[in-house]
Chain A
Amino acid sequence: EPEVTQTPSHQVTQMGQEVILRCVPISNHLYFYWYRQILGQKVEFLVSFYNNEISEKSEIFDDQFSVERPDGSNFTLKIRSTKLEDSAMYFCASSEAWVGNNSPLHFGNGTRLTVT
């Protein structure tokens, strides 16, 4: 069964550094999402992406964050200048149709980001 893949599985970075988290969504999916989960807390929505542009973003997704689909297969999340509070598990997800149409989400295994 096709799956969403994320790399790396664990990323350690120093505060102030830029990080890029990578995701390869399922190939025929059109909608892409990033979520994060701070340790011990709820999963939170960051951003959704369709047709090469952001369709929605949360308050968490400030100017330090950006997303890109550089080559038609990868979907990346960049954090420009990491802060300690960015330490979390970051999940990429994709769906065939818009989640508002009750299309199921397919999640990757996550990237654990540790900012020191």
Chain B
Amino acid sequence: KNEVEQSPQNLTAQEGEFITINCSYSVGISALHWLQQHPGGGIVSLFMLSSGKKKHGRLIATINIQEKHSSLHITASHPRDSAVYICAGLSYSGAGSYQLTFGKGTKLSVIP
């Protein structure tokens, strides 16, 4: 069974701080999606990566395939970054089918 574990569950930071959210995943997962869920519930896809590192604005995502670990970093955090960040692993489930397994999410609160 594929699993995705995130840490921490909750994170409070002061505005301007550098933030790291971690995701560990099981064998069988070949790529990771990082998602942002707004307080109202809507979900936005941030990154999809299967190797290396991706950067978009103040967000950086890295993945270490050997260690089966990914991190999402936010530089110069801002209160508008407050959201739940979800890691989801893509795995092959046979007969040409793929599934996403979601982590429980990390609730980030950035205080002014």
> Are A89 and B41 in contact (CB-based, < 8 A)?
yes
Contact for B41 among A55, A106, A112, CB less than 8 A: A112
User: What residues of A have a CB within 8 angstroms of the CB of B42 in the complex?
Assistant: 107-110
Residues of A close to B44: CB separation below 8 A: 107
A-B contacts at CB below 8 angstroms, number: 56
Let me know if B86 is at the binding interface, CB within 8 A: yes
Which residues, 30 to 48 on B, are CB-close (under 8 Å) to A?
31, 33, 35, 40-45, 48
**B18-26, B59-67, B69-77, B90-98: which lies at the interface:** B90-98
Complex interface: stretch among A39-47, A61-69, A76-84: A39-47
The 14 listed contacts between A and B (C-beta, < 8 Å) are: A41-B104, A42-B102, A45-B100, A56-B97, A56-B99, A99-B90, A102-B31, A102-B48, A102-B90, A107-B42, A107-B45, A109-B40, A109-B41, A109-B42
| B-facing residues in A101-116 (Cβ within 8 Å) | 102-110, 112
